[in-house]
Chain A
Amino acid sequence: MNNQTKELMLVVACLAIATLVYWSANQIPSSLLAKTSAGLVPKIVAISLILLAILHLILVFSANRTSNTQTSNSETSTSAIDDRTERNDGRIRIALLVSFMIIFVLCLELGLTEFWLLALSFVFLSVLAMSGISSRSILIAASIAVVSVGATIVFFTKIFTVILP
């Protein structure tokens, strides 16, 4: 994805959020308790965001027109390929962790099983995703999961009397 597309997506996201907020704030009926409606400030901020998004769009396009005139020389060296591979690996790790978290929270929400079991599976799978699969890493992941989940449960419930999910 090039820079311009990325910035365009940002502007679109901001415009969508601001429009949604404005529309929702506009639905609030005026109250007798206050002369100023509860939707007044959200509407002002939404309009400001729309104006800023448009300004940003103009700035991006005007800057892009200038930079287009300059020639760009792209090299594909071995280190660049390594960097790209490393970046892709990083993205995969992030995607895996986010997926594990979503499944973890979804299971908590639906009350499918006990917290400790879910937490244990989450830490185990996440450590594996971070360190790669091998018999050594499975052993390390299992030990880390048992110790950390055990410590978390004891620490939160016994020492700080926090209620766990």
Chain B
Amino acid sequence: MIYDLLSSFGDMLSPTPFLFILLGTLSGIVIGAIPGLNGAMLVTLSLPLTYGWDPLNAIGLLVGQYVGSISGGLVSATLLNIPGSPSSMMTTLDAAPMAKKGNPERALQLGIIASFVGGTVSWLALVFLSPPLAKIALSFGPHEYFALVLVALMLISSLSEGSMAKALMSACLGMLVAFPGLDTITAQPRLTFGFPQMLAGFDLLAVLLGIFAVTQLLTDAGNSMASAERIRLSGKMYFVALSDLSKQAFNMVRSSLIGTWIGILPGIGGSVGSIVSYVTAKNMSKTPEKFGTGCDEGVVASEAANNATVGGALIPMITMGIPGSIIDVILIAALTLHNIRPGPLLFQNEPHIVYGFMSTMMIANILMLFIMIFGIRLLAKLIDVPTKFLVPILLLLCVVGAFAVNNRVFDIWVMLGFGLVGLLFRSWSIPVAPFVIGFILTPIAETNFRTALILSDNNLWDFFARPITAMFLVLSAVMLLIPLFKRRRPAITTRNEH
């Protein structure tokens, strides 16, 4: 494994892949730093470009963008008090007050270093946890695989914000969107409603562009155009003292481990990771009253955790083909475009892709550290970029991107349609993550479910007769029931108090 990893580092450090990683990291940081634009949108927009590339170059660009966009959110969170990306939401609580007190450089540097540590810890988890997990996943048959996908869907629905019923409805709608087209087993057309274009189903990229990019851009267009108060950096060079960093060492590692663990859970991205880590840091702090007033611990906890989710989220994606975050869904789409199927067989069939992911993540993490430490003054200027001029240009890129893969105008309509669906989701407060995960996982779930039924002669009891499948199914049922208990508990407490 070590030899494969070192050899992959050698490959990815050769001029062309390295250039793509650098480009990806830089563009990710830039987009992450501009409020309103996020990594998911950037990665989706870049996806059509990578169609004809070598898969490793595509991985270099997209993973670089993933790492960069999560880190770039720190800039506007600190200088504008607006999170540049959803994952830097908790960073605003302490980085912005610290900047207002006259220490913006300190807030930014602490955040950058914490991001680097978070990325490194999760990279170690990615390197050492993926091979054994892939070995376990290799022993899974169709029964286990179907049950695993069910667990992933339940988990993302139960952990989504707001009503669980809405999250499950979102997952069901996502699954329904995946059905149109030719059936994978019998090759019969289904849910095409007489449209010949529907025989190929909804194009993955068009749906992703619509739901991520178009929805986000239209939302940005509708948001207030009033400019927020900006904090400027002073002209002096500033470096955080080593003693201050060593005081945060435990917090950094703890938050990184939390972020990595949250990242491994399907569909849960950096925002949840940073919330859990921030709350944990506050609860375990000797001075919890300082949180929210501009303390080092808050900035470090949030930034270490959100970057750590990147490596964590790649673990289930590489080993089982289950996306750990929304951007992983787009990475799965990228692999699919290159006829590579993520999952346990990836380690056997395409080890260079697996190690390509690992080495790219580390290279991008190091590049992020240098770009952000030394380019922070330039990056700080990005908060002045007016979104109102960017929105039409990015919408044009969406149109071109949706058309580019299949050369069909139909895909542009699909993209526009799903952009409007995304807007409706926002208006109804429906979480989009279960929809996307449902959409991407349904073909795997359905094929395995029906194969399992064929193998067991339509006997559903066979699912419960297998220990791993039964365990996954029970876990799904527990996750479905948890909100009911959560709902009941306050009522019982209130009755007892009375």
Contact = CB atoms under 8 A, between A and B. Distances in A.
A35 interface: yes
A10 B393 contact: no
A90 B423 CA distance: 13
B166 A41 contact: no
A39 B211 CA distance: 26
Nearest to A101: B416
Contacts of B191: 21, 24-25, 42
Interface of B: 48-49, 51-52, 163, 165-166, 168-169, 172-173, 175-176, 179, 183, 185-188, 190-191, 193, 218-219, 221-226, 388-389, 391-393, 395-397, 399-400, 403-404, 407, 409, 412-413, 416, 420, 423, 427-428, 430, 442, 445-446, 449-450, 453-454, 457-458
Interface in A78-107: 86, 90-91, 93-94, 97-98, 101-102, 104-105
Contacts, number: 174
A41 B409 contact: no
Nearest to A63: B163
A156 interface: yes
Interface string A119-159: 10011001100110000000010001000110010001000
A28 B404 CA distance: 32
Q: Which of under 10, 10 to 19, 20 to 34, or 35 or more describes the interface residues of A? A: 35 or more
A94 B214 CA distance: 11
26 contacts: A7-B428, A10-B169, A31-B188, A34-B450, A36-B453, A36-B454, A38-B185, A49-B176, A56-B165, A56-B169, A86-B226, A90-B223, A94-B423, A98-B416, A105-B409, A105-B413, A109-B409, A123-B392, A123-B393, A126-B395, A144-B389, A144-B393, A160-B52, A163-B407, A164-B403, A165-B399
Given A21-B179, A34-B186, A49-B169, A122 B392 contact: yes
Chief secondary structure at chain B's binding surface: helix
Given A55-B165, A97-B392, A164-B400, 4 more contacts: A33-B185, A36-B458, A49-B176, A90-B224
B416 A105 contact: yes
Contacts of A130: 221, 225, 388-389, 391-392
A104 B399 contact: yes
Contact of B428 (A6, A42, A152): A6
Nearest to B398: A101
A131 B388 contact: yes
A12 B187 CA distance: 32
Given A46-B176, A105-B409, A34 B397 contact: no
Given A25-B190, A130-B389, A48 B221 contact: no
Contacts of B420: 98
